[in-house]
Amino acid sequence: MQEPTKYDSVYWVEVDRIQPNPYQPRREFEEAALKSLAESIRQYGILQPLTVTRKEVEKADGGIQSIYELIAGERRLRASKLIGLREVPVVIRAGEHTDKMKLELAIIENLQREDLNAIDRAKSFQQLVEEFGLQHNEVAAKIGRSREYISNSIRLLALPEAIQQAVVDKQITEGHGRALLMLNDRPEERDTLFKEIVLKKSTVRMVEQLARRIATDKIRKHDKTPEMMQLEKSLTETLGTRVLIENRPQGGRVLIEFFSPEDLSHIAAMIAERQEAQAHMSKEAEAAVEEVREASMPIHPNTTQLGHETPASESDDELSTVTNFVV
């Protein structure tokens, strides 16, 4: 947007007579940032005038009153109200009062200052497309961006409201959002991955790789038996992270996802604990089987019993003579 220059006439207008721009693309204004700006204005004043349009409206008593509608400078106006300023400097733009022009100017101003978050920017682009009939390449030409940039921004609006709000709240980035779009046809997996991003602070690259793998796994899923799918689910629940089983003509592989060295150590410890517990259970089972086997072994007279000592009453001398032999 063209900034006011020294050749523009600057007017002082009461803040109560300035209406907000109905096409303002920004929906989020951080309170802390507004207070900081208000304190700066208190000390140094408004260094750059607001940009407005003017229109004449008829008053209730039949008179004419000038009303000003904001094009650019919403944060400055809000900050001025916070510290109780009665008037602010403005530059009046003539001939720029169409709704499309107001939206275009507001978007361009925010983009130039990088004030818009990704979701508000996407909604603004969509508004230009739907309400004013512009093509993506036309929107791109107006703001000096590529057509792909416009299209990819608008695609973010296909995400659920909760994920969009997470982008606005800076819980996840725009890049995370684009990666999650790959799983839009698999909402359960997408929502699970979203929670993992927020919980484990995964990088965009890691999320892209995982989303791509899950999307590819959908194609390969017909190669898995129900038993393999159940095992995959069981391992995922046991280890607390996503586990994928890939079936191949010659064997296959098990993929266990982790998001940090600590996460990997935790998974390894869980596997080691389960192996140790199973080994302990195996030993106990073997001991129990041996006890049952020994307890159930019958004892027959005049025969040698495995595992039992020869009765003490029979001496070696008696065994070597025929004194007690009878027919």
Catalytic residue among 58, 74, 276, 318: 74
- 74 catalytic? Reply is yes
Alpha helix (H) residue ranges in 72-200: 74-82, 99-113, 118-132, 136-143, 147-155, 161-168, 174-180, 187-200
Q: Strand, helix or coil at 173? A: coil
Q: Are 119 and 164 in contact (CB under 8 A)?
A: yes
Q: How many helices (H) and strands (E) does the chain have?
A: 13, 7
Amino acid making up residue 38: A
Dist CA 208 CA 196 (whole Å):
13
Rounding to the nearest 10 degrees, give the CA dihedral for residues 129, 135, 138, 144: 70
Strands (E) across the chain are located at 10-14, 18-19, 50-58, 64-72, 87-92, 243-247, 252-256
Which residues are tagged catalytic?
74
